[in-house]
Structure 1
Amino acid sequence: MTRKTLLFISQFAEPGSYSRSTWRRIYGGDDETVMVEALIDHLGMFDRLDYRGVKAHEGEPLPADLDAIDGVILGGSFASVSDNYDWQREIGGWLARWRETGKPLMGICGGHQMMSTVLGGRVEKIPAGPEVGSLAVTRTEAGQGHYLFDGFDDTSPFFFGNFDRVIEVPQGTTVLATRPNLPAAALDHGGNWVSVQFHPEMTCDRMATCWAEVDPAQSARYSFIPGCERMVGNFIAGNGLA
């Protein structure tokens, strides 16, 4: 059987906008492609798929041959979708082409917001301030039976750390989960595209480090969450990628 290829697109941050030394004690440092590779290995899926990582925010080119990719995970970002950096426009254009293939995509945090924007939704700053911490979501009826939430229940927490939110979902998109300040915490966009505002791929130490330069006091809001990474596994397995 031919192994499927999973692409992870990192859009970590605008180069020069943060100190790389802050990340040196964290596995993989600021290179999230290394972190996601380790996550796939942890899930026991590494020997069942081929993995590629691209640091799009650093100018690494996205694959021109879409036939060579079977599924995509689009990571989060310190940048807002409204920043309109060159690399964000490159990702947006690439996503429009990827949408036409009908193949699966999972967006996380900033990826969730970019996907929603590409599809015609609207993103805004959260009026109450950033959503931070290890927090549970409220699943909608559609979310209760969705494959993305297999193995999770109504008390399952996830890592949040975001200043922006999707306030208007794209046409044809189904809301899977909400929070009081987040009317679209998890979405199914149809066409094998799903996205979440939270970070199932992260660990509490990585989330805490995210705030080290921005607002160190927020780092204490994170606690260890065993098993939240299973959601990434649900995406991979649920789309036949491994």
Structure 2
Amino acid sequence: MLVRKGFTLDIRRPRFGDPLPDTMAGYSGAVIFGGPMSANDNDDFVRREIEWIGVCLREGAPFLGICLGAQMLVKHLGGDVCTHCDGAVEIGFYKLEPTESGRQFIDWPRMVYQWHREGFDMPTGCDLLARGEFFENQAFRTQDTAFGLQFHSELTYAMACRWTTHGASRMSLPQARPRSDHLGGWFRYDPVVREWLWGFLDLWLAQDRRALAGNIRAA
């Protein structure tokens, strides 16, 4: 979707040794996606990626964390990432309820796709934008420019097929949805989520403090 908006992607994979930029100069923003690892893991690349988020925050560049990326942002801000006290997971489509702050920012979808067994608390100074069914904290922002989303608005049908095939055993976990709900739900909910994501990305990138300060030329 960012490519459709005219952006060029610079994909880095710290897990495989890719270095991360020393500065966000020349970049419109940064996104950290999800993955099978935990933000609590002690792997060097996990710790390095969590620490690197500070580059975006210090420079006022737009940052977006999705699922694991949101949890990494929480860890960077001093918050906790942990499993549900009842062992529940969110794997499939679940209801999303925006907060008053969230409603003022954008009109949110009411059903979103999840694939996680860990959630996070809300670090000091963050603004909660949306709540979920089993994991309350679903979307938040900090310093205006950095956003964390627990859910996967970037999901494609191919991704849903792949995840529910390779991760079939996870659908037996507490509160996980059956595979048929994943695939059928994509056709039911994706048009709204896709439209939301298109608008959200514009709003997210518009928060760039560097552009507001006149340090970069707005596109």
1:221 equivalent in alignment to 2:187: no
Contact map agreement 1:140 1:176 (CA 8 A) in 2: yes
SS of the residue 1:137 aligns to: strand
Q: Which runs of 5+ in 1 are unaligned?
A: 1-38
Distance 1:65 1:145 in 2: 31
Distance 1:109 1:230 in 2: 20
User: Structure 1: which 4+ aligned runs deviate by more than 4 Å?
Assistant: none
Compute the TM-score of the two structures, normalised by the length of structure 2. 0.80
Over the matched positions of the two proteins, sequence identity in percent amounts to 22
Which residues in structure 2 correspond to 1:181-200 (within 5 Å)?
A: 181-200=134-153
Q: Residue type of the partner of 1:193?
A: A
SS of the residue 1:133 aligns to: strand
Deviates more, 1:105-114 or 1:89-98: 89-98
Deviates more, 1:175-184 or 1:127-136: 127-136
Distance 2:125 2:15 in 1: 29
Distance 2:58 2:200 in 1: 19
Aligned mate of 2:113, from 156, 159, 184: 159
Per-residue deviation at 1:209?
1.8
Contact map agreement 2:88 2:134 (CA 8 A) in 1: no
In structure 2, the partner of 1:67 is 25
Distance 2:181 2:87 in 1: 17
Which residues in structure 2 correspond to 1:86-125 (within 5 Å)?
A: 86-125=44-83
Per-residue deviation at 1:87?
1.1
Contact map agreement 1:117 1:123 (CA 8 A) in 2: yes
Aligned residue pairs, count: 194
> Residue by residue, what CA displacement relative to the aligned partner does 1:81-116 show, whole Å, maximum 9, x if unpaired?
112211111111211222111111111001111101
In structure 2, the partner of 1:142 is 101
Q: Which runs of 5+ in 2 are unaligned?
A: 172-177, 207-217
Greater fraction of residues in strand: 1
In structure 1, the partner of 2:2 is 40
Per-residue deviation at 1:207?
2.9
| RMSD value, Cα | 2.0
Distance 2:87 2:37 in 1: 19
Distance 2:73 2:92 in 1: 23
1:82 equivalent in alignment to 2:82: no
SS of the residue 2:193 aligns to: coil
Distance 1:60 1:81 in 2: 18
> Residue by residue, what CA displacement relative to the aligned partner does 1:152-202 show, whole Å, maximum 9, x if unpaired?
45xx32111101001x21111011111131121111122411111000111
Contact map agreement 1:207 1:219 (CA 8 A) in 2: no
Contact map agreement 1:200 1:230 (CA 8 A) in 2: no
